Amino acid sequence: MSTAVDISPEVLAKIPLFQNLSAAECLQLAEIATVHNFTPGEMILRQGRSSQNLWIVISGQCEVIRHGDNGDQEEVVLATLAPYDNFGEMSFFHAAPHSAGVRGKTNVRLLRITREAYDQLISNGAVVAYKLAHNTVESLADRLRKMDEWVARLMRQQTENRRVQEWNQFRQSLFSEWSL
């Protein structure tokens, strides 16, 4: 269910993706956003499907889940998202299927910005669109940095030579074989 945005400026100011935005710019984003409510267990994004929405948790918690690439039904919970966390940004900026799913862990209230609304900001020359993109890149870079640290920690913990070779192949593929 979606409703018109009725989020206070104080809440908008707490959202990391809205950092360094003026009150007027926050309101500009709020004008193009909608609020959606989900129940525990309700799917918000499905792995492998496509949509271009940027989501921000206003209240409640969501789980980021991933299923194996070989059709494996076993799921892995990758993260729990709390208020002011965001998700969906990879598909928002690069039209591709979602790499993971997201579902409500509790009753959750989300702010959604569609790609169409964002593109309208860009076509109008709104500076806030570029600031939002910049803040999103910072968020993604922070996640990538944390993933690098996690992978390095896992590699140090591995005792089987085979596993170390697998990680080295993964690392090599990440930087040389994958096209961006």
Task: Write the DSSP string, the chain.
Answer: -EEE----HHHHHH-GGGTT--HHHHHHHHHHEEEEEE-TT-EEE-TT----EEEEEEES-EEEEEE-TTS---EEEEEEE-TT-EE-HHHHHS----SSEEEESSSEEEEEEEHHHHHHHHHTT-HHHHHHHHHHHHHHHHHHHHHHHHHHHHHHH---HHHHHHHHHHHHIIIII---
Confidence of residue 118 (pLDDT cuts 50, 70, 90): very high
In this predicted structure, what is the pLDDT of residue 163? 60
> Which pLDDT tens digit goes with each residue over 51-110?
999 999 999 999 999 887 666 678 889 889 999 999 999 888 888 888 899 999 999 999
pLDDT greater than 60 at residue 139: yes
Global confidence as pTM: 0.80
